[in-house]
Amino acid sequence: MELKNYIAGEWVEGELQTMPIINPATGEHLGTVPLSTKTEIDAAVQAAKKAQKEWALLPAPKRADYLYEIGFKLKEKKEYLAQILTKEMGKVIEEARGEVQEGIDMALYMAGEGRRLFGETAPSELANKFAMSVRAPIGVVGLITPWNFPIAIATWKSFPAIVAGNTFVWKPSNETPMMAYELAKIFEEVGLPKGVANVVFGTGPTIGTAMIEHPDVRVISFTGSTATGSKVAELGGKHLKKISLEMGGKNAVIVMDDADVDLAVQGIVWSAFGTAGQRCTACSRIIVHRDVKEELEEKLLKEMRAITIGNGLDPDVKVGPVINRQALEKINHYVQLGKQEGATLLTGGHILTKAPYDKGFYFEPTVFTNVSPNMIIAQEEIFGPVVSIIEIDSLEQAIEVNNGVRFGLSSSIFSRNVNTIFKAQQLLDTGIVYVNAGTTGAEIHLPFGGTKGTGNGHRDSGQAALDVYTEWKSVYVDYSGTLQRAQIDT
């Protein structure tokens, strides 16, 4: 399949260079993606700008009607989309279905916002005067999305943007462009007015930069690595853009001495090795109380023996490939580093090179133990199926270790003690906290995001996402028929 950009409601062919789309499970060539330039970004921004005036004037419940239709289409195509998602990204089919479901949920949830988008009314300090705040759309927004959740994260950003009256230009990841192409087809099928949604394929340095620098793009919403996010913020800051960033994580599961260890092990396996560890919410540290460490290690190893690795289209497979060769090498680099740092390799640690794994990019689920909190493998985001066990002997120490990293996305605690749990949820410094569940599985109607190196204070999802795509406008209506001066005529 040769993908095309979707600009102003047209599928645009250009004399562009292309890049292959590869199935990470098999190495199969799935198609090509165009590598666009500033010219295509300019055209897309112009289309979005032109469409935005009229779109913003359409009542929000009418804008929302399109989102309902998009949600229904996503539902109708759920299986078809999940199959493509597994082929281009590698996540196992059950997770791919879950990801499409996340998009459906977001469409219907944000469609509901069309009849809310609440502002506030407030009493004026003057008689016969009315005061209120309303959410106003901002204009053209630029979206930059990653490959690990190619459809869900796109819906987290684009749906609140359009229900609030903005139009957008979207640069999806080149690793997973087919999902973007499919979503653009849905925009077309439901008759979304031309120019409201534009998709331009290409590289970050070329088209991402062009989008951030474009004077008519007012907001940039980015999800990706902390290194790239920091560049986006720097450039965006220079051009006074509103920048919303979702970046890395170094998420931990804390297992206290009174925990249900069997349940904790299940939560760890699901959140550390699901999606082959390629979630920004993935569990990559286990902070375990010394009294249950041995039991946890034993049970973890037992549970891991049941993990089938392979092509995610096979419903029995639990862990699929990682995205590409570069990722495989990066993960391997961290594993070697862990060994050099003196951590004990409990299981895994290898790239799988023998058939049937030789054509794809597979890394064995890996556990290090006897890891100290300051080792590099316990500090940096690995983004693969690698987890480090760190021993502690109190809740205070567990919190200190959890918080002692530069990221702050997600954390989890397993305990049966209500005091421990409430103390932990207060002191864990992450944007998301789970109790008696792993570190993944955020639901779309709550804010999603993190503290410190994970974000810059904004949130995807939930009502909070609307704050990214709207400006507050305060409106004062004086119906006294006289000049009333605030702060003076008391």
Footprint of ligand UN1 (CB under 6 A): 102, 148-149, 279-281, 440-442
Residues in CB range of 391: below 8 A, 6 or more apart: 288, 289, 290, 293, 370
DSSP 3-state of 150: coil
Which of residues 34 and 365 has its CB atom nearest to ligand UN1 in the complex? 365
188 tagged catalytic: no
Residues in CB range of 118: below 8 A, 6 or more apart: none
The nearest distance, CB 11 to ligand UN1, in angstroms, is: 28
In the numeric block, the tokens 């119906």 are attached to 479
State phi, psi for 204 to the nearest 5 degrees. Answer: -60, -55
Pair of tokens at residue 169: 């230009």
The nearest distance, CB 239 to ligand UN1, in angstroms, is: 26
The nearest distance, CB 233 to ligand UN1, in angstroms, is: 18
Catalytic residue among 88, 99, 246, 364: 246
In the numeric block, the tokens 């299940």 are attached to 266
Which of residues 25 and 276 has its CB atom nearest to ligand UN1 in the complex? 276
| CA distances from residue 486 to 134, 193, 477 in whole angstroms, order as listed | 20, 43, 13
Catalytic residue among 95, 99, 102, 280: 280
The nearest distance, CB 361 to ligand UN1, in angstroms, is: 18
Which of residues 36 and 148 has its CB atom nearest to ligand UN1 in the complex? 148
* Cβ atoms 138, 219 nearer than 8 A: yes
The nearest distance, CB 385 to ligand UN1, in angstroms, is: 14
Give 296-359 as a DSSP string: HHHHHHHHHHT--BS-TTSTT--B---S-HHHHHHHHHHHHHHHHHT-EEEE---EE-STTSTT
Calpha distance 116→416 (Å, rounded): 39
Which of residues 245 and 392 has its CB atom nearest to ligand UN1 in the complex? 245
Which of residues 157 and 293 has its CB atom nearest to ligand UN1 in the complex? 157
For residue 253, give the DSSP letter.
Answer: E
246 tagged catalytic: yes
The residues annotated with a catalytic role in the active site are: 246, 280
